[in-house]
A and B are shown apart, each in its own frame.
Chain A
Amino acid sequence: KQEVTQIPAALSVPEGENLVLNCSFTDSAIYNLQWFRQDPGKGLTSLLLIQSSQREQTSGRLNASLDKSSGRSTLYIAASQPGDSATYLCAVQTDSWGKLQFGAGTQVVVTP
């Protein structure tokens, strides 16, 4: 059974520092890995999607890497801002219909 783990569970950094969020999964047979952002009491916003054949994806200040063989992904957020404060979730797609297995998330606080 696929299990997705995110470490750390919570993270607090001063504004301007780079953020490093980790995600690991136990079964390397995935279709893709996605990173989402969730604000309190809200739905999910998709940040990056990495296909299983890709090593990384970039969007603005965000960069996500994928090492499928070791079951790891890392999300880097450069030059953090208070507006980056949110919970970040990673999820792996486990079947062709789109079924996602989520990690528990990393709660990020960026202090001014």
Chain B
Amino acid sequence: GAVVSQHPSRVICKSGTSVKIECRSLDFQATTMFWYRQFPKQSLMLMATSNEGSKATYEQGVEKDKFLINHASLTLSTLTVTSAHPEDSSFYICSAASHRGIPRETQYFGPGTRLLVL
């Protein structure tokens, strides 16, 4: 199957700093990417959907000014957590889908990024 990578896998930062997480589709063109967060022992919660070349669509309750999403190319989407606080500590997972050739229901998930804000 297709491969999706995330970088970094783990990051520790100080409160108030910004952190950028990259999500890359390595062998296919991802027209749509999804960003999820997962708290310990809880399920994945969709944060936003981003389509290449357009603004991301955020889920209710997700601050778009705090979680900046950029999907500038068909292989790369970035999530920037701005002015991070300890409550932003979580596991962030991206997934990628292509609406060209691959069925829309096929999403490929990245390995996740563990963010710890001190």
Majority DSSP secondary structure for residues of A touching B: strand
The reply to whether A100 and B93 contact each other, CB–CB distance below 8 Å, is no
Interface size on B, residues (CB 8 A): 26
Segment from A14-22, A40-48, A61-69, A75-83 that makes contact with B? A40-48
B26–chain A nearest beta-carbon distance, Å: 14
| CB-contacts of B41-92 with A (<8 A) | 41-46, 49, 51, 91
Shortest CB-to-CB span from B9 to chain A, Å, is: 9
Q: Which of B27-51 contact A (CB under 8 A)?
A: 32, 34, 36, 41-46, 49, 51
Q: Which residues of A contact B111 (CB under 8 A)?
A: 42-43
- Are A41 and B112 in touch, CB under 8 angstroms? yes
CB-based contact A44/B93 at 8 Å: yes
- How far, in whole Å, are A46 and B111 apart by their CA atoms in the complex? 12
Distance in angstroms between the alpha carbons of A89 and B45 in the assembled complex: 12
Q: Mark A19-56, 1 if CB is under 8 A from B, else 0.
A: 00000000000011010100001111110010100000
Q: How far is the CA of A35 from the CA of B32 in the complex (A)?
A: 21
Docked pose: A60 CA to B114 CA in angstroms? 32
Q: Report chain B residues within 8 Å CB of A101.
A: 46
A-B CB proximity, top 6 nearest: A43-B111, A44-B109, A104-B43, A102-B43, A102-B44, A43-B109
